[in-house]
Amino acid sequence: MDLLSDTLNTALSSRVIELEKRLQGSRPAGDFEGSVTGYWVKLNDQGVGIVDYQGREYKTRPLGFVSTAKGTEVELSYANGVYYSKF
């Protein structure tokens, strides 16, 4: 087989394994381990915090109530299937 076919087959296998884990009740893994430094974007209409980390926007559950400006450094953490942001 060629490289493209091998890559597609590997990706498909990984996806099937992930779906089987979810069906068994496993939560998806986060994009990083521990806490990282992200940058505050905004609080949307539903109260969900939006934080930018490495060019990707994450929907977070803000911890605490603080008014802050866009671009402020925040601590972005992942636990039990939820991203949290802390100022």
- Residue range 27-63, pLDDT digits in tens: 667 888 789 999 999 999 988 999 999 999 999 999 8
- Note the pTM of the prediction, 2 decimals: 0.67
The domain made up of 35-86 is a member of CATH 1.25.40? no
Instruction: Please give the backbone phi and psi of residue 6, each rounded to the nearest 5 degrees, phi first.
Output: -60, -45
Q: Quick one: DSSP state of residue 71?
A: T
- From start to end of the chain, where are the E strands? 35-43, 49-53, 56-63, 73-79, 82-86
What pLDDT shows up at residue 74? 94
Other C-beta atoms within 10 Å of 57: how many?
13
| Percentage of the residues of the chain whose pLDDT score is greater than 70 | 94
What pLDDT shows up at residue 27? 67
What pLDDT shows up at residue 64? 80
Sequence-distant (6+) residues with CB within 8 A of 44 are: 50
